[in-house]
Chains A and B, each alone.
Chain A
Amino acid sequence: MKRLIHTLSALACLLATASCEKDLTPIVLEEPRLNFIYYNYNGEVTLAEDIEENMLETAYSFALRSATVGEELTTDTVWFEVGTMGRLFDYDRPVELEQISTGEADAVPGVHFVPFDDPQLLSKSFIPANQNKALIPIVVLRDASLDDGNVNLQFTFKDNGYFKPGYEAFSTHTLVISSHMAKPANWDTHYGDNNFGTYTELKHQLMIEWTGNSWDEDYLDELFAGDSNYVTYLSQWFIEKLEEENQKRLDAGLDIYREPDGEPVSFDPEPWY
């Protein structure tokens, strides 16, 4: 009994000084994944619940880009920002895209874009060591078939052993490739019709010619982030410029500017309501 008491006493002393500790299991994401990164108007990364349809599609126009850079382009590179899920690695990790067939005017590898498995292209497609995002290139090609209509290049991330596709909403994107003018993806979000009238390719071409500005997505973002009074001014300026140019054409014995359907070109803004 005495020994038991001593033992209990010793145990009590030990218990009084004891504390608990348990090793935590580190969070390990076994499968690094990739997502496309989109930004909202404030320049913040868009969350899944805030994603908008127009973000999932990019329009590429050889005509628009050529007008912007001032030379006739037959090939060009479009860059897409992608971000990783999972931990960082201390080595470069390749990224490979793969085409998704839409069954509707699908772009043809080698004809409308450089195939995604092209070694030279792949050498530029990687997440740098210790980084969680990068710009991934797609090289578009100006094929004569584009004159007959746009083509769609829908793509996602290929499971290449380094990455799998990430969230569904962020892992598929469509690039619409055209040789003629294309309505910038943010034309509608900036209410282009309410400022410059209904979008047409001919008007787009004239806007570039008359102002010397690119009128692509970047330009529109910059324009509409600036002085709204300037947008109002431009709206009226295009109307007056059209009148002036139409008069010049009439004086030269030409018809006024008309859309392909014969309707006169108009910069009259669409009503707001």
Chain B
Amino acid sequence: MKKIFYPLLFMLLSFSACTEDDSTLATLDVSDIVIENLEEEYSVRSYVGINLKDVIKPTVQTAYAADDLTYTWYLFDATAVNIDYRDYLISTDKEPDYVVELPSGDYRVVLEVRAQSNDFAQYASVLLHTSTSYSQGFYILKETPDGNTDLDCYNEELLTDVIEVGTGAPMKGKPCNLSILYNGEYVDPGSNELAVDNFVHVTTESRDYKGFRSEDLTEVFNRDNLFFSGPMDDNEIPYGYFMAYFYQCYISNTGIRSYGATFSGEAESTGKLGYPSCAGGSKFVQIIGWTNGIMYWSNTEHRLMIADFNVSSSTVATDTSGEDIQSDYPTDLECLASGVNSTGGTNLGWFLCESPSKGERYLIQSNSLGNAIERIVTLDSSLHLAKSDIVAANGRTASYIYCVDGNKLYAYSLTQGTELEIPLTGIPTSETVTFVTNQYLGFLGMISATYNFDTFIVGTQEGYNYKLYFYEEEQMNGGQPIAAPGLTLEGTGKVKSVRYLSPQKDITGSNLGFEEMLGNTNTFPFSD
């Protein structure tokens, strides 16, 4: 037995392996690295030479020596999934030395601070919203001194006559309407691929029409290429665009033409349009309940119409019992202004009309669902609203219709039918008030609320020079200015309309429908 012990021992040893503990106890101190002085979100404009190091300025608290630390900055599309952020390095400087030349969108910026002595690192990230000079801001539709149409655009600075700058000439004729269409689809003239962008659509009283993508204000659509059938007939009077739940809609005197709105955000359509549906149209369109239909004024029918939410047909709007209440009123009605008011949990659409033959004005008010007429009020001729040519809606802060009469601002109460004068704090009485509007974004979260705002804008005019006074939320209370305006713009031309364009990509018809499910309609004004 002893004799086989050693061979067996040898066999066992032959299966053995050696290990040696080469480790040592930690000899370096691991101090913390604290990254401070960062906001959660930043907004910058692209393509204007802004360097991130002038915007994002973190401070780092640590016991490590300064020359022991490395700084690495990464930037990537915030909506991207399954990516390694280390593939998107933009800077290895202490400050992010990176000139922002990015398409409009949301980006994530990550800072990594690492101690080389022990590889300990800390990270911080912020959200970066980018816009171009054209993809965000207030667009000002104006009549040029020679009686044509152009746009000014305010995004931190006022860019003037951007249509003439971009296309070589202003649009022909006096301005008619300015409409914003989010997530419009088109064929990118550069790549010849289907694409999606927010759009600025402009129409004039001479029936000119142009549709610009907001990223760089490239003219994409015009009278010659909007229809599948070829150039528009001479009798086509374009009024503008609006968004319905399932469709992106163009409205003209021939009705409403539409294409299916993208749900995914990916382009599926050329944005070109086929045959119209519905009877007539105008620039006055309001959607009070997305699934209840679209209320619009028809200049050809001289009536308030309701199109179904598929925009496939229209009927003359009736009262809640189905009665043709409009038949009691003159047949020559013209619409002067319209809006939606959402206060106290109630939505109310209104259309201010006038009968040229009778010289009377009527206020058609919708029910809260936006699928019938609640009542039609014949305005007493003593009311300023019955005389004013400058009328605008209050959207979300007071149940008012604003009007200007005798160079004074009045508010007509939609609930009381009475009026009150509203002092225009901070505006010299020597200036002539020629324009008012309430612009706002009011999303609850199904669509990002990052850009929400509510601004009351008053315009004054001296010849072809305009001033626009912006009363921001902190300068307003209950729909009335309580302090001097926070911003004043001055430019050339006669202001016809002002619309705010958000750089957001998530304002789709379906998301607007989801907002409605949260009880939130009237998220931004269509027309006024």
Contact = CB atoms under 8 A, between A and B. Distances in A.
Nearest to A8: B7
A233 B228 contact: yes
Q: For chain A, give the interface size range.
A: 10 to 19
Nearest to B274: A233
Contact of B11 (A12, A232, A237): A12
Interface in A62-79: none
A2 B3 contact: yes
A5 B270 contact: no
Contact of A229 (B14, B229, B273): B273
Nearest to B270: A227
Nearest to A236: B275
B514 to A, nearest CB: 23
A213 to B, nearest CB: 14
A5 B6 CA distance: 10
Given A12-B14, A233-B275, A1 B269 contact: no
B229 to A, nearest CB: 7
Contacts of B6: 9
B274 A236 contact: yes
Contact of B3 (A1, A230, A233): A1
A16 B3 contact: no
A13 interface: yes
B260 A229 contact: yes
Most central of B8, B268, B270, B274 by chain A CB within 10 Å: B274
B10 A9 contact: yes
B4 interface: yes
Contact of B270 (A9, A16, A230): A230
Contacts of A229: 228, 259-260, 269-270, 272-274
Interface in B151-208: none
Interface in A225-241: 226-230, 232-233, 236-237
Contacts of A232: 274
A16 B11 contact: yes
A16 B7 CA distance: 12
Interface string A127-142: 0000000000000000
A224 to B, nearest CB: 12
A232 B228 CA distance: 11
Interface in B5-60: 6-8, 10-11, 14-15
A128 B242 CA distance: 58
Contacts of A228: 260, 268-269
Contact of A227 (B3, B7, B8, B269): B269
B260 A12 contact: no
Interface string A48-71: 000000000000000000000000
A143 to B, nearest CB: 41
Contacts of A236: 274-275
A152 to B, nearest CB: 39
Contacts of A227: 259, 268-270, 272
Contacts of A12: 7-8, 10-11, 14
Contacts of B269: 227-229
B400 to A, nearest CB: 40
Given A5-B3, A8-B7, A237-B229, A230 B274 contact: yes
Contacts of A13: 10-11, 14
A237 B3 CA distance: 104
B228 A9 contact: no
B4 A8 contact: yes
A5 B7 CA distance: 8
Interface in A5-42: 5, 8-9, 12-13, 16-17
Nearest to A1: B3
Contacts of B4: 5, 8
A237 B228 CA distance: 10
Interface in B308-336: none
A104 B464 CA distance: 84
Interface in B264-308: 268-270, 272-275
Most central of A9, A13, A227, A233 by chain B CB within 10 Å: A227
Contacts of B259: 227, 229
A2 B2 CA distance: 12
A233 to B, nearest CB: 3
A12 B274 CA distance: 88
A269 to B, nearest CB: 13
Nearest to A230: B228
Nearest to A17: B14
A17 B229 CA distance: 83
A114 B7 CA distance: 83
Interface in A212-260: 226-230, 232-233, 236-237
A2 B273 CA distance: 102
Most central of A8, A16, A229, A232 by chain B CB within 10 Å: A229
A2 to B, nearest CB: 7
A47 B108 CA distance: 42
9 contacts: A8-B4, A8-B7, A9-B10, A16-B15, A227-B268, A228-B260, A229-B274, A232-B274, A233-B275
Given A9-B11, A227-B272, A230-B272, 14 more contacts: A5-B3, A5-B4, A9-B7, A12-B8, A12-B10, A16-B14, A226-B270, A228-B268, A228-B269, A229-B273, A232-B274, A233-B228, A233-B274, A233-B275
Closest 10 CB pairs of A and B: A233-B274, A9-B7, A16-B14, A12-B11, A229-B259, A233-B228, A227-B270, A236-B275, A227-B269, A5-B3
